[in-house]
């Protein structure tokens, strides 16, 4: 019985590792929205920011992750920026009305508040990443609302680049 339990546990862990490796390899079933723009981050950032705010998602914090990481370049040596990303920035944003609605439906989903997206530049192209909250909240009473929020944020990202 111990051997059977160990085998089942091992198979379970291997399955999780395979699933996780496919997510990190970019083969995810869509848990992260990814949009590439053939423009440098400096041309994309302000447009996406403005479009989010026009959609009533107000940016409350703007970490410049690339600048923060660069402070460790000497310390990390060869481990620093192995993909040669030229910029990494993030936007933390919120819509208070939606946050209130989420809290009314399922307070546990407030872990998604505030929302954020990450932008990075490589070879003059900008990639925008946004976690798809509706997909991660499958059994939540707030799922439908989170899917709506998700679609509005994605629409704002796309609109910002038209």
Query: Using one digit for the tens of pLDDT, what is the confidence trace for 85-94?
Result: 999 999 999 9
Q: Report percent pLDDT > 90 for the chain.
A: 73
| H-state helical runs in 25-142 | 41-54, 65-70, 73-76, 96-105, 133-136
Predicted TM-score (pTM) of this structure: 0.78
**Is the predicted pLDDT of residue 4 greater than 80, yes or no?**
no
* Helix (H) and strand (E) counts in the chain: 7, 5
State the pLDDT confidence band at 1, using cuts at 50, 70 and 90: low
Report the pLDDT value the prediction gives residue 123, as an integer from 0 to 100. 96
Instruction: List, for residues 20-69, the tens digit of each pLDDT value.
Output: 333 333 334 588 999 999 999 999 999 999 999 999 999 999 999 999 99
Report the pLDDT value the prediction gives residue 154, as an integer from 0 to 100. 96
What contacts 130, CB < 8 A, 6 or more positions away? 32, 33, 115, 116, 117, 118, 150, 153, 154, 157
State the pLDDT confidence band at 134, using cuts at 50, 70 and 90: confident
In whole angstroms, give the CA distance from residue 112 to residue 133: 7
């Amino acid at each position: 019985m111990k051997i059977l339990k160990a085998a089942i546990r091992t198979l379970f862990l291997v399955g999780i590792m395979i699933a996780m490796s496919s997510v990190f390899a970019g083969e995810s079933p869509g848990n992260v929205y990814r949009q590439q723009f053939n423009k440098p981050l400096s041309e994309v950032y302000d447009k996406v920011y403005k479009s989010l705010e026009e959609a009533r998602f107000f940016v409350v914090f703007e970490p410049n992750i690339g600048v923060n990481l660069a402070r460790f370049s000497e310390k990390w040596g060869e481990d620093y920026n192995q993909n040669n990303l030229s910029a990494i920035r993030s936007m933390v944003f919120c819509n208070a009305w939606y946050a209130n609605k989420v809290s009314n439906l399922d307070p546990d989903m407030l872990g998604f508040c505030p929302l954020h997206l990450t932008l990075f530049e490589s070879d003059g192209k900008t990639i925008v990443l946004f976690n798809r909250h509706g997909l991660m909240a499958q059994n939540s009473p707030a799922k439908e609302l989170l899917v709506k929020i998700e679609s509005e944020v994605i629409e704002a990202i796309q609109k910002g680049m038209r």
